[in-house]
Every structure is written in C-alpha cells, then in structure tokens.
Amino acid sequence: MKLYEYQTKELFQQVGIPTPKGKVIGSASDLESAKVDLPLPRVIKSQVRKGGRGKAGLIQFASTEEETKEAVHHLFRHPEKISKLLLEERLDIKKEMFLSITIDPKTSSPLIMACAEGGMEIEEIANLFPGMIVQERVDIFRGLGNFQARDVMCRLGLQGQQITHGAQILVQLYRLFRSFDAELLEINPLVMTREGTLVAADAKMNIDDNALFRQKRFVKSRDQFDDDLEFEAFQEGLHYIRFDGDIGVMSAGAGLTMTIMDLIKHFGGHPANFLEFGGAAYGRAAKAMDIALKNPKVKVILITTFGLIARADVIAQGIAQAIKELKPKIPIVAAVRGTGEEEAFKILEDVGIESMRDTEEAVKKAVVIAAGRAP
Ligand code: GDP
Ligand code: MN
C-alpha cells in the first residue's frame, strides 16, 4: 500500500524528522476557510500515489497569495484525479540529496541507499554513476546502529553537526520502516537548506500489503487502486489485475495463475486479467467469475485449478453455482484438476461444462476460441 506524501510526513513529524511547514487542503474553498497561514513563497504539491510529480507539472510554486490561488485552482481542475493538495513553505535549497530504505531481495535484509546528488534525476544518476550510491545493509536482528547511520552520512560528504543530524534522521527513518512494515521508505529530496539544516522535502512510503492486518492505522480505500474491478476484487479477498487481452483467467493458486498466463502468451493469446481464487479463497469461484465477466473485453473464460488441500470438487461446486447464477453467454474452458476431480467433473457436467484433463490443452483451446477460430 502506497501512502500519500502528507501521510508519510505526518509520521515523520511524530518521530522528529524535520519537514517543511505545511497544510493539506481538499478543495479550492479550503484555501480561505482553513486559514492557510504559511509563509510565502510556497510549494503546492498534488497528492497522488505516483512519483515524478515534479516532471509531470504536479508540483507548482507560488510567491504570492494570488499565485497560490491560481496554482490551487489549476491543480484541482480534475478533482477526480487529485483530491488533496499539500501546501508548504518553499525551502531555500542549497543541495538535494537522496535517502531511502528498502528490502534487498538477495540478502532479505533492509538496505539503506543514499546519494549526495538527489532530486528528480536520481534514476539517471544511479544509471550513469552507480558508484555515487552509498549502500548499507542492516542486520534485521541487531537493527541500525548509530555508528552505521553516522557512517552513511560521512560517505555522503556531510560534516560536523550535519553528520549527527543526518544520522538522527536515518535512525528515525529506520524505526518507521520497521514499525510500519514498510517495503520502501524514501526521502527524495532530503534538502540541505542555505542555513545548513536538513529537511525532508518529499516522503514516500510503501507498506507491505501482507502486513496490513496489523497496520490498522491505514486502510486501503478506492483511491489506492487504478481500477474499479481491482478494488472490488480486493474487498472480496481476491487478487485481480486487469490486462488488455481477451482471455478471462480464473485460477486457484498464484503460481499456477502465473504459469497459465505464461502458457497463454506462449500459445499466442492474451490474458484479460490475473485472477486468483486459491488458498483461503478457494470457495469463492462464484464471486471470482462474477468479477472476471465484468470486463467487457473478455471473449472466453479459462478456469484452471490444481487442488490438493483446496479440493477440486469444492471449487467445482463454486463454479457450478456461478454458472447457475450468472448464466455466462461466452464460452467457458475448464481444467479443474486435483483432489476429488472425478466428483468435480460430474458437478461441472451437470451445468454443461466438460472439464478437460490436460491443462495445456485447455489453454490452447481458450487461445483458439479467443482468436475466433473454430476449436
Ligand atoms: P516528485 O517529483 O513526485 O518526487 O516530487 P518532489 O516532492 O520530490 O518535488 C520535485 C522537486 O520539486 C524537488 O526535487 C525539488 O527540486 C522541488 N521542490 C519540492 N519541494 C520544494 C521546496 O520546498 N522548495 C524548493 N525550492 N523546491 C522544492
Ligand atoms: Mn521526490
């Protein structure tokens, strides 16, 4: 789950990471009613979950009240896309740095990455001059030592009090990273002001979705999704991702679903979605089909399962229920395999579906149907 900049900055304020003075508004009229008493000049920052706002024109600068108003109206002109703005005092920047913590998949440990040259060109810098990126691995059981944090700041070229200050920021950042089960926590730019203080001008945090059950402070709402169907599936406990093809995929188990998507591509077809109803959701075939059918591009539904603990006959009951309720008008190709499959075949036959015994053949058949050739 991606937090908004203003949410992450609220966490920063709670642990003493310095942020610019700011105020969140939800509409242009808030500008008057919420009494935005920030010093001028200001920065007006769109609260969207995507990076690269600066380059996309979603960050504006204003040196007067009039310009503030203009920028606010301009950025709110599509309120369905941008529903909140963060107004901040504009910092007097001497230098923009980059500071982040993520998980290193190779060592499965937190990894600090920092760079003395941060800001909007960080990707280019990392590509052209990888040696400029300072890296520090953290032993997850020991945590981040103050000496390590100071070392990172020294390697960034900071001096004197700034090392102490930068290390305090990093230690607090790591604390947040762990206590909120973050996958990514990033300050870009970490600004050094003309007066020489360090301030987090931007803030980005992704929380591991698998930890949301214990991160009750944050709830995934519609604005965390790009798509109505993806949100609907999430609420039903199903994993759905929309693609632009025409084969509606329904599979039990993420691994099998990925394999089926690969097979579809291999045989020249195009999946319309990723949709997985395995694991705890294996009784949810009816809801899964309901969602798969809602995409108007879908020409054929391909159901594949390989049930061991998630029994094939239970899955088949869900599919049979779905067929009775939804009466799909497009062809259904199924290979419902696994524990209890003989029973599953019978259940499906009763609703007019002949389950195939070879998963690859089922994929081929779906590809042929979607392409409009006779199966
Ligand atoms: P992003 O492009 O989505 O990462 O948005 P940022 O919050 O990082 O803003 C993009 C750029 O705007 C930064 O790299 C800065 O150059 C500039 N910027 C952001 N906040 C301030 C500020 O308070 N003062 C000044 N002078 N520039 C800012
Ligand atoms: Mn940024």
- Distance (Å) from CA 3 to ligand 2 centroid: 14
What distance in Å separates the CA atoms of residue 210 and residue 213, rounded to the nearest whole number?
A: 7
> Would you call 95 helix, strand, or coil by DSSP?
strand
What CA–CA distance (Å, rounded) separates 43 from 59? 7
DSSP state of 35: T
Position 86: which residue type?
L
Looking at residue 160, its pLDDT comes to 95
Cis peptide upstream of residue 130 (ω within 30 degrees of 0): no
Ligand nearest to the CA of 52: 1
User: What is the model's pLDDT at position 309?
Assistant: 78
60 Cα–ligand 1 center, Å: 9
How high is the pLDDT of residue 292? 96
Centre of ligand 2 from the C-alpha of residue 52, in Å: 7
Distance between Cα 53 and ligand 2 center (Å): 8
- pLDDT for 318 equals 87
Which residues of the chain fall below pLDDT 50? none
How remote is the CA of residue 194 from the centroid of ligand 2, in Å? Answer: 19
> Do residues 330 and 297 touch, judged by C-beta distance below 8 A?
no
Under 8 Å between Cβ of 369 and 331? yes
Q: Is 20 in the pocket of ligand 1 (CB under 6 A)?
A: yes
Ligand nearest to the CA of 191: 1
CB of 248 sitting under 6 A from ligand 1: no
Distance (Å, rounded) from C-alpha 269 to C-alpha 246?
8
Ligand 1 pocket, mutate which of 202, 204, 205 (most atoms under 8 A from CB): 202
Residues with Cβ < 8 Å from 338, sequence gap 6 or more?
Answer: 305, 306, 307, 308, 310, 311, 312, 315, 344
pLDDT of residue 349: 96
User: What span, in angstroms and rounded, lies between the C-alpha atoms of 3 and 224?
Assistant: 9
- Tell the residue nearest (CA) to atom 13 of ligand 1: 119
How remote is the CA of residue 202 from the centroid of ligand 2, in Å? 5
Taking the centre of ligand 1 as the mean of its atom positions, its distance from the CA of residue 197, in whole angstroms, is 16
Q: Give the Å distance between the CA of 148 and the centre of ligand 2.
A: 25
pLDDT of 141 reads: 95
Q: In terms of DSSP H, where are the helices of 129-160?
A: 146-155
Question: Cβ(295) to ligand 1 under 6 A?
Answer: no
d(CA 341, CA 310): 11
Q: Say what the pLDDT of residue 72 is.
A: 96
Protein residue with its CA nearest to atom 15 in ligand 1: 119
Question: What angle do the packed helices 285-293 and 312-326 form, to 10 degrees?
Answer: 50
- Residues bordering ligand 2, an ion, CB closer than 5 Å: 188, 202
Q: Would the CB of 38 count as within 6 Å of ligand 1?
A: no
Residue 120 Cβ inside 6 Å of ligand 1? The answer reads yes
User: What atom of ligand 1 comes closest to residue 51's alpha carbon?
Assistant: 3
**Ligand 1 contacts CB of residue 251 (under 6 A):** no
| Dihedral, 288, 293, 299, 302 alpha carbons, nearest 10 | 10
Annotate 52-88 with b (16+ C-beta within 10 A) or e (fewer): ebeeeebbbebeeeebbeebbeebbeeeeeeebbbbb
Q: Report CA torsion sign: 337, 298, 236, 176.
A: positive
pLDDT score recorded for residue 178:
98
Pocket lining: 88 vs ligand 1, CB cutoff 6 Å: yes
Tell me which residue of 169, 164, 179, 218 sits closest to 49, measured CA to CA.
218
Tokens of 83: 């529903």
3-state SS, residue 90: coil
Name every residue whose Cβ is closer than 8 Å to that of residue 129 and which is 6 or more positions away in sequence: none
The two three-digit tokens of residue 126, written as one number:
């990392």
